[in-house]
Every structure is written in C-alpha cells, then in structure tokens.
Structure 1
Amino acid sequence: MTVPGAPADFTRRAVDLPEFMDDPACDLATLRRTYRQFGRLNALIAGWRRVYVRDLRPRLLQAPLTLLDIGCGGGDVPRQLARWARRDGLDLTVTAIDADPRAIAFASAQPGPPNVTYRQALSSDLVREGHTFGAVTSNHLLHHLTAAELSGLLRDCEHLGRVVVHSDLVRSAAAYRLFSLAAHAFPGTFIRADGLRSIRRSFTPAELQAAAPPGWTVRPLFPFRQLLTWEAGRA
C-alpha cells in the first residue's frame, strides 16, 4: 500500500496509486486542458515519428491501410499518425477508441484529418464484432492495466492487428526526477501529478517482457520509454 508522503518506491509497480484523470469526478476543465496539452507533451517525449517511420509505415505498405489506436485519450497520437500517412500518400483509415466517454467527447470535437474516427469502446468489443486492422497502437496505456487486463489486451491485439506497437514509460528514479522538473511547463493540468504517478505505475523492461505472452518483444525507446511489439507470422 502506498503511504502518503513516503519516498517514491521504484522497486515495484505502484498499481494501487490512482491517477487523477481516471477519477470520474475530477475537474472537467482541468481534464480538458490536460487533453489539450497532450499533443505538445507527446511531441516532446513519445517518439512516435520514429515509431511511424521504422515500425508502422513499412508494414502498412504490405497490409490493409487501417490502424486502430487503443486508449486514444485526447486523440493527438492517432491524428498525427493519420497526418504523416497522408503526407506519404497513404490512404490510411484510423479508428481511435477509448473507454472514457470524456476522452471521446474531447477528441471528436478537435479539428483533424477526416480519415480519423472516434468511438467509445474496448478492444474486446472490436474483437467480438470481428474487426481487423493493418496496425494497432497505443500510447501510455499499459501502465494503467492490471496483470489480468494486460493479458486480455494483448490477446485481443493478436486478433485485431497484423502489427502491434504499444508505447509506454519505463519506471525509474531518473525518469521520475527529470519529469518532475520538466512537467512544470504544463501548469493548470494533471500532467505533472499524473505523469509522476504513471512512471511509478509503469513496468521495467524485464517486468513487461515477463508479463507478455510468447511472441511479444520489448524494445527500448529513448528516453525512458519502451515498445511492446508483436507481428503476425513472427510470433
């Protein structure tokens, strides 16, 4: 159990440490400001341009031009992936889902490429409906999940996508200290408080590899990030 005021413990995942954004009763104005700043934050730290060029674009050229983003939040990542694909002449159709209706309401109201659609849903809903996609992605989703939820998500993804890329944080004291300083650039949002909690909830690479089924691979992504990937035919 996490003790208020105690020094951060990085020896294990702080799965009992809730994030403010996940509270249905959190301040809606602050939540919307947080969603609005995610684009700037992810552009700085998430490295999706490298992931798109190295992991997604080459495989989308050989697969159906469809992409599913799970746990899309404010929708900045799927919108950016859609823009890059259009710039490359790819007629990519992007579906972005989130279980939180507040996220879908915000994302749906944002200007962006017409080839992105949003839906309140779980990955299991899409499996049940028989959907498949050329690629499946997520950003900062894995650390929110329990062991059972992670297992279910990865099982769903093996049904849903030909290539799957989950990008998330790595739990470390260095990442925690640096983010604690850098996140002061996002006042009036949940980014600093929840970002620090997210780091404490995150996996180490060894933990994530141990939690993943056979066929899944953990790769480092600088700085303090990791990718959990899977590809049909290579499992």
Structure 2
Amino acid sequence: MKLDFSRRAAGLHERMDEPDCDPQKLRHTYAQFGIINILVSGWRRIYTRHLRPGLSPAVPRTLLDIGCGGGDVPLRLARWAKRDGLMLRITAIDADSRAIAYASARPAPAQVQFRQALSSDLVWEGQQFDFITSNHLLHHLTAEELTTVLQDSEQLCRGLVIHNDIERSALAYAAFRAGTARFFPGSFIHEDGLLSIRRSYTHTELSALAPPGWVARRQFPFRNLLTYRSRPHA
C-alpha cells in the first residue's frame, strides 16, 4: 500500500506510548535513542550555533528539556558544556514515569536533574530558564497540547526556546526504514520511528501553526526547528 505523506497521520500512536507496552522493549528503546539522536537529531550543531554562545564560564545558565525520554540529549548537552568549561544546569522533565525511572538510573552529573512533570507544573511553580529545548516532542502532541507547550515555553523562558523535531517526507521515511530495519533489535525504534515520521509536520505546516514570535526553520537532515526568543521586559 502506497503511503500518503501529503497529510499528517495524526491518528497513529507510537507503541512506546502505550501504558502496557513491553517493558523490556521500552528500556531497549530508551537505550537506543542515544544512537538515533547522534545520527539524525543534529544536537551538536544546535549546541554550537545556538546554545554555546549564550553560556558562560562564570555565570551559571539554566536549561529546561521538555519530554526528555531516556535522557540522552540533556546528558549530552551537559557533557559538551562541561568540556567547554561552561556552566549549565539542566532540568529534564517527562510526563511518563517510565522514562524518568530510566533516565534517573543513568550516571549523571550533579548539574542534571530529572523529574516527572509537565511544563505547566513548572509554570505554576513560577520557574524560569535561560534555555528551553525538546527533542521529537511536537509530533506526539495533540493540537491542544501543542498550544499549551508553546504557551508554557514562552512563560518559562527568559532566553531562547528550541523545539527540535522531524520533518515529514517520503524520503525521510524511506531513509529511516532502510537505515534501521536490521540495526535496532528488541526495541520500538524501527516501528515507532516510521510512525513518528508520518505523524510529524512539514516545514510549511509548522510555519502555519507557529504563534506570533515563533519561527520554524529547517535543519538537515529532515529536521524542523521551532524557535522563540523572549523579549527583554521593560
């Protein structure tokens, strides 16, 4: 059956999001996220171009990672900042207790904290951060949830927000299918990754959804960056 990539397959759901999914496969998925993110997510480029220029060796900066999953992205950002002699404190949150249990069990530096929470919980607490990031989060959200996360991001951020996600295309789907079919056994990486591509936004769709002040940018390969920079208060 030929798939239609002209529209989001928003009604599909990844297996790993199911509360009764295979727990061993879920753990393997979290473990393998690190490989996938190194290969396709482009966080090194995002760090060097957008995050590192705002960091300091003397003044601690703060970062909130929303929907942290297995925790590989915030841990990698913390490692890069430390290696560059820069001070960065990271709070990484996820609504799924299974993700936080996995991430919290990983060796982590003191400047990285994992907690089960929603972005709205941190808004209610009155918290603010210099940077806010997410990886592969936006396509998981309903329209209402997306609106909430973007509104929360604006309230929580006193600097820069970067939501990093997949851009849907037939080419992205074909490349991921060929590249992951044999190399990620015992996990949901292959199956859920293909579903994620079908659920993700094109650049045009994300640009149309972006509220005032937000900018959708493309990043190679097959990536969308939805960014927001807070304005200084008078």
Normalised by the length of structure 1, the TM-score is: 0.94
Partner of 2:162: 165
**Match of 2:152?**
156
Taking the aligned partners of 2:65 and 2:215, their CA distance within structure 1 comes to 19
Aligned residue for 1:143, secondary structure, equals helix
Alpha-carbon distance in structure 1 between the residues aligned to 2:71 and 2:60: 22
Deviation at 1:64, TM superposition (A): 5.6
Q: What is the aligned partner in structure 1 of residue 53 from structure 2?
A: 58
Counterpart in 1 of 2:88? 92
Whole-angstrom CA distance in 1 between matches of 2:152 and 2:217: 21
Q: Does 1:45 align with 2:40?
A: yes
In 2, the alpha carbon distance for the partners of 1:64 and 1:209 equals 33
> Matches of 1:187 and 1:126 in 2, distance apart?
36
Structure 1, unpaired ranges of 5+: 1-5
> Is the contact between residue 67 and residue 137 of structure 1 (CA under 8 Å) also seen in structure 2?
yes
The code of the aligned residue for 1:177 comes to A
Aligned with 2:175 (options 153, 178, 182):
178
Partner SS, residue 2 of structure 2: coil
| Cα contact 2:59–2:87 (8 A) shared by 1 | no
- Whether 1:114 and 2:107 are equivalent positions in the alignment is no
> Mapping of 1:117-132 within 5 angstroms?
117-132=113-128
Please say which of residues 180-189 and 78-87 is displaced more in the overlay.
180-189
1:145 and 2:138 equivalent? no
- Post-superposition Cα deviations, 1:123-152, rounded to whole Å, max 9, x if no partner, equal 000001000001000000000011111111
Q: In the alignment, what sits opposite 1:209? A: 207
Deviation (angstroms), 1:87:
0.9
- 2:220 — aligned with what? 222
One-letter code aligned to 1:217: V
Deviation per CA, 1:81-113, whole angstroms, max 9, x where unpaired? 000111111121100000000000000001122
State the shift of 1:8 in Å.
Answer: 1.9
Change (3 A) 1:104 1:228: same
Counterpart pick for 1:135 among 131, 155, 160: 131
Query: Is residue 70–residue 136 contact of structure 1 (8 Å, CA) maintained in 2?
Result: yes
User: 2:98 — aligned with what?
Assistant: 102
SS at match of 2:195: helix
- TM-score (normalizing by structure 2): 0.95
Which secondary structure state, in structure 2, belongs to the residue aligned with residue 24 of structure 1?
A: coil
SS in 1 for 2:212: coil
Asked if the contact 1:63–1:134 (Cα under 8 Å) also holds between the matched residues in 2, the reply is no
Q: Which residue of 2 aligns with 1:195?
A: 193
* Shift of residue 34, structure 1, vs aligned partner: 0.5
- What amino acid maps onto 1:209 in structure 2? S
Instruction: Report % sequence identity.
Output: 61
Indicate conservation of the 8 Å contact 1:60/1:134, yes or no.
no
Query: Which amino acid is the alignment partner of residue 195 of structure 1?
Result: G
Question: When the two structures are aligned, how many residues end up with a matched partner?
Answer: 229
Cα deviation, residue 114, structure 1: 2.1
